[in-house]
Structure 1
Amino acid sequence: MDIDSILERFNWVENSSSIQDVYDYYRIHCCDYDLFYDKNFSEEKNDFYKQLYKVLNDRLENIISESNNSRKKKVFLSHSHEDFEYTYRVGSYLKKNYNVDVYIDELDSLMPSSTNSDTARRLSKKIETYDRFIFVGTKNSFKSKWCNWELGIANNKNLKGHLAFFVMNDHPAKSGIYDKNEYVGLYPFIWDKKVLDIESDENDLFVGYYKDRGNWDLFVPLKDWLCKNDNFFNTVQKNEKNKRE
């Protein structure tokens, strides 16, 4: 195992602008945890990962956005470490297409090498100070104690309007089948427009609720959800209510 061979798997990321590429990666690797991820850390392995993550962080920082949005927002990506490669692709896609800063804790050089209370304090502070919270939903993250803890921190911050789940479009939770994760129904999802049958030339992704929510048909473009300063869903709902009255 060497850094160069691992980095080859990331070479396409900076040049890809298709959300389908991100989905396809997960479909191919959804039955496996990261090919290079090793839970049994040693000092030697820890040094290896530090070098690897530094290179990947530099790559992520150097991705040039195609968006004209000047109001750059910070997005916290909650994920399982077993899904790092997938999460990196999600973050790269968001940065390239929506001009946001993304936080992936593996790439944080100040994060302790082994989890402890300092890990929790640093994660909590990041969640408190970042503008958006996206839960990268996979079979690993839904059962992760850390991911669910992070979700609780974001919820306590009153981020319900700025908190969303990013999962595959055919994930059962999007149809209201939560498999012991009923809390998922409280929050909006990030959707592909073709699944919603929405015609739009300017945006491929939307944020909104589905089916079991009273406002299930309320969707907003992802770029607006990422860029607005206030609780965008509450603002839209109030406007819709005023129109009906």
Structure 2
Amino acid sequence: MAIPQSELLRAGQRRPLLKSQARASLQKTAFLCHSHRDDKLAEGLQALLAEQGVELYIDWKDASMPLQPNRETASRIQHRIKTCDWFLFLATANSMASRWCPWELGYADGQKQPDRIAIVQTSDSTTTHGNEYMQLYRRVDMSSAGELLWVPAGSNQGQFVRTVPFL
């Protein structure tokens, strides 16, 4: 089930968890590919993932990134994509129209195992975004109880994000 953008916005309003307050220590990391126009949605996803023990890297929150995108920006993004456990694509109307997002997804596809890439489908009042990738990659869904699920491509059943093992 696609994650309603309203749920991400609501999650972004919560007080952020301190690392010591998280259910488990944040031992999993994920790079978030998204449009900067979706900053509130990104923060909501970051809050939801932190509750599941996943630290989400968001480039515009990184003070070491250059102010204007350039070759150094691309190199730093490539490094983060390689070093994070997962690559997540936040599918929205904005990310689908972005110039950077397809580049990041293509780079991740060449660097990571397919089971380490997932699409975070979102839905707004009229559309579900990210359908075009569902046969290629895993996805992050929301259960009816509001927990995030890690779902294999082509499947309707997954496991809770907090229980996904890492080798």
TM-score (normalised: structure 2): 0.79
Tell whether the 8 Å contact from 1:23 to 1:168 is kept in structure 2 after alignment.
no
List gaps (5 residues or longer) in structure 2. Answer: none
Q: How many corresponding residue pairs?
A: 159
**1:90 match: secondary structure:** helix
- Per the alignment, residue 40 of structure 2 pairs with 85
Q: One-letter code of the match for 1:229?
A: F
- Per the alignment, residue 30 of structure 2 pairs with 75
Partners of 1:100 and 1:183 lie apart in 2 by: 23
- Per the alignment, residue 9 of structure 2 pairs with 25
Tell whether the 8 Å contact from 1:65 to 1:99 is kept in structure 2 after alignment.
no
CA RMSD of aligned residues (A): 2.9
List gaps (5 residues or longer) in structure 1. Answer: 1-18, 27-58, 195-199, 231-245
Alignment of 1:156-171 (within 5 A): 156-168=110-122, 171=127
Partners of 1:89 and 1:209 lie apart in 2 by: 23
C-alpha change, 1:24 and 1:62, in structure 2 (3 Å) is closer
Is 2:151 the partner of 1:208?
yes
Query: How far has the Cα of 1:204 moved from its partner?
Result: 1.9
- Residues 108-133 of structure 1, C-alpha deviations (whole Å, 9 max, x = no match): 11111001111100000000011111
Query: How far has the Cα of 1:107 moved from its partner?
Result: 0.8
- Per the alignment, residue 219 of structure 1 pairs with 158
Is 2:55 the partner of 1:101?
yes
C-alpha change, 1:64 and 1:79, in structure 2 (3 Å) is farther
Query: How far has the Cα of 1:159 moved from its partner?
Result: 3.1
Partners of 2:160 and 2:95 lie apart in 1 by: 25
Identity value in percent: 28
- Per the alignment, residue 89 of structure 2 pairs with 135
Q: One-letter code of the match for 2:42?
A: T
Tell whether the 8 Å contact from 2:26 to 2:55 is kept in structure 1 after alignment.
no
Query: How far has the Cα of 1:138 moved from its partner?
Result: 0.5
- Residues 182-236 of structure 1, C-alpha deviations (whole Å, 9 max, x = no match): 3443012212222xxxxx7xx72212146xx3xx2442221123xx114xxxxxx
Q: One-letter code of the match for 2:54?
A: V
Q: Which has the larger radius of gyration?
A: 1
Larger fraction in strand: 2
Alignment of 1:3-82 (within 5 A): 23=7, 25=9, 62=18, 64-67=20-23, 69-70=24-25, 72-82=27-37
Alignment of 1:110-189 (within 5 A): 110-168=64-122, 171-172=127-128, 178=131, 182-189=132-139
TM-score (normalised: structure 1): 0.56
- Per the alignment, residue 31 of structure 1 pairs with none
Tell whether the 8 Å contact from 2:87 to 2:117 is kept in structure 1 after alignment.
yes
